[in-house]
Structure 1
Amino acid sequence: MTTPNSDDATRKTAEIDGIPFAYHEAGEGEPLILLHGSGPGVSAWSNFQHNLPVFARSFRTIMPDMPGFGATGLPELNEYYPTLAARWIARLMDHLGIGSACFTGNSMGGAVTAELAALHPDRVRRMCLIGSGGLSVGIFGTDPSEGFLRLFEFLDDPTRDRMIAWVKTMVYDHRTITNELIDERMRNASAEGVIPRLKRIFGSMFDPKMRAGSPPLWTRAATIATPTLLLWGRDDRTLPYDQAHFANRWLPEVELHTFSRCGHWVQIERKTEFERITTEFHTRGK
């Protein structure tokens, strides 16, 4: 049976300059845009499907598949990916008639949110960044981190065992890793074109020529005045917890909430607390 907040009931597609842009939408009220992270088999639905019913009670909740992920096409990749993705999220907002919104971004989705706040401060009213890239800088951990090493290993040899090894770096409690989760991620990652697109996206992020036109976001942190809530799992093995403290020091309007016994997927491992804390933050002063 199709429920009001099911995949089928909430799935929509826009077309922007010939590029299909997939997203989910549910609820009414002030707009809240949820941006997913990167990784094999990722999409807005895989990241936030279980949070959507809660947020839809309070917000017009929009969950896009970012460019090159899920069912959204990948435009010409002629610049650093988080910057390109931020520009396309702004174009989706224009298509949907949204001038400004609150944002919650996980990992790469956090980097894209922060890039959008830097490019167009008027479009991002408040932002909640979960284990975010971009504004975070490693202080003590190895680079690349364990999580990224497992991710790159999967891209080189996309087996089920390597998918399991990668997912294990995402969470603190391995009991959350079910066969259904691995099956879903393998099915999504094995779809035609998915892995080549992901390799191109990461390639843009490590290409010195593309990075030359976009100064690292962390060097601009002090100029981003958007009210920001940082959420971080203390046991994050992809963007380790020490990285939270750079952004926490330099963002002008920021607060940091740390979750013990939690990895990179705060929205999954600490679902109830995540929903409560972010709803309070985004509705503060209403």
Structure 2
Amino acid sequence: MHVVGLGRIGLPVARRLIEASHAVTAHDVVSSRRRAAQQAGASTARTSSMADADVVITALPDGATLITHIEVLASEGALPGQGTLWIDLTSCDPDSGEAATETLVAHGIQAVAAPLAGGPSAAGAGQLRFHVGGAADAIARAAPYLALLGGEDAVLFTDPRPRAAYLAKLLVNGVWFAHAAAIGEALLIGSRHGIERSVLGDLLRHHPALRGVLEGTLRDLVDSADGGPFELERIVDQLRALVEAADRSALTAPLTVATARLHQDALRQLGPGPGELRAIRHLELLADRTARTTTPADG
């Protein structure tokens, strides 16, 4: 089994597979990550070749990186053989994800799109969730690995089209990011009119119309200065992909466009870093007020 990409998700995924007695060959361009995988019990490949792979799992930063990786392997004759199962956990834009899986299928590889939900701690604990797309036989073959990484109820969404799986993940994240921005803005407006942040936070958290929908986001916004699990530049990429998907469908999506613009502005002002709360920090700076009890430093 080969795991490609040993970042925040890929390394704990590799460790989880090793703990389940899978022999893992680990790939990453960063030497320190390869060493960490070796310390966990993985082998590291001297070349990019995957000719001996029965299963490949990719967890890469974005769709462009995934496509480049596949193209390089194809040009070097280093793709795995026909019948290999390839599970991609990357949060791709739909076009890139579709192109990647089509290339793999054209080489006789069983490709399954499985963009994930959950962060590093969930990956290490085997509590990831997945949005799955691909041929039924490939998905059935991937099921035990997804269950190992996320439990028996790990699959949240299934569609025969890989493109749909990548899009479903982006749509969920788009709603999440918009909620976070809307909550932060509400807290700022309330604060400007003299409503204590903690009082308004409790109202929103426990209001019958919102209960359960926003509780986790409110907890993070009101009670924590943590930036959140997502890197801001990844949020911008994903929201841009959603806007492009709406444009291609000739749909007007003003809320998604506004949410994308907000996070783009936050990235320009604050620079890269974690995560969805940085858009709130951007709003705080615009308003010259704080929406939260504690606020992260700029930068």
Give the TM-score normalised by the residue count of structure 2. Answer: 0.28
Structure with greater helix share of residues: 2
Q: Which structure would you say has the larger RCO, counting Cα contacts within 8 Å and 6 or more residues apart?
A: 1
Give the TM-score normalised by the residue count of structure 1. Answer: 0.28
Give 1 or 2 for the bigger CA radius of gyration: 2
